[in-house]
Amino acid sequence: MMKRFERQRDYYAGALMILVGVFAGYVATTYDLGSLREMGPGFFPLILSVLIAALGVGIAATAGRTEGDAYGPMAHGHRVGVDLRGWAAIFAGVVAFIALGHYAGMAPATFACVFLAAIGDRQNTWRSAATLALGITIVAVVVLAFGLRVQMPIIKGF
């Protein structure tokens, strides 16, 4: 399955660009195109969209011709795929930050964000995650809230 993905990677890559180009191009045509002399808001986006889609075709057409690059972004034995626990934790961390940042304030948002994200690493325990989260929360309150005056109340309604 891995090998197959390696082989077909550039087809997917090309398809993604074609998709992006077609979609963005369609949206661009809903704006006024204008003329070369008086360009409307849709003109330049349309050029870019066509270019992106064309490049997508080019990428798919030349698929498999480029050998893997040893120091490419996916080198170093990085697995391809989703680490469920890690992903869920990173997601939960960011979402918790947004939600608690809105309803509860910076301190709870910080704690939740760091704690949830840390739990995603299999080597972290509840305890080490909580300790780390507490430490970062203290730093955040001192440096960001008091020092740099980030515009988020430390605790809402307090």
Partner 1 sequence: MIWSSFVDLAHGFEVALQPHNLLYCFIGVLIGNLVGVLPGMGVLSAVSILLPLTFGMKPVAAILMISGIFYGAQYGGAICSILLNLPSHPPHAVTCLDGYPLTQQGKGGVALGVTMMGAVFGAAFGILQMMFLAPYIAKIAFSFQAAEICSLMLLGLLAGSTLAKGSPLKGVAMTAFGMLLGLVGTDTATSVERYTFGHYELADGIELVALALGLFGIAEFLRSVNNVAPVNTAYTKLKFRDMRPSKAEAKEAALPILRGTLVGSLCSLIPGTGPVIASFIAYATEKKVSKNPEKFGTGAIAGVAAPEASTHSSIQGDFIPTMSLGIPGDAAMALLLGALIIHNITPGPRLIVEHPDVFWGLVASFWIGNLILVFLNVPMIGVWVRLLTVPYRYLYPSALFFICIGVFATRNSLFDVGVTLVIGLFGYLLLLLRFEPAPMLLGFVLGPRFEENFRRALNIAHGDLGTFVERPISAFFLAICAALIGLQIYARIKKARAPVQLASTAFD
Hey, which residues between 48 and 87 contact partner 1 (CB under 8 A)? 48-49, 51-52, 55-56, 58-59, 62, 65-66, 69-74, 76-80, 83, 85-87
Question: Which among 6, 16, 4 is positioned nearest to 74, based on CA atoms?
Answer: 6
DSSP code at position 34: B
Instruction: Please list every residue from 90 through 129 that binds partner 1, using CB under 8 A.
Output: 90-91, 93-95, 97-98, 101-102, 106, 109-110, 113-115, 117-118, 120-124, 128-129
Q: Binding partner 1 by CB under 8 A: which of 39, 138, 142, 155? A: 39
Least separation in angstroms between CB 53 and partner 1:
9
* Binding of residue 1 to partner 1 (CB under 8 A): no
| Residue/partner pairs of 140-145 with CB below 8 Å, 24 or more apart | 140/106, 140/107, 140/110, 141/106, 141/107, 141/110, 144/106, 145/106
* Binding of residue 37 to partner 1 (CB under 8 A): yes
Q: Angle 2-29/43-61 helices, nearest 10 degrees?
A: 160
And the tokens for 43? Answer: 């003109």
Least separation in angstroms between CB 142 and partner 1:
13
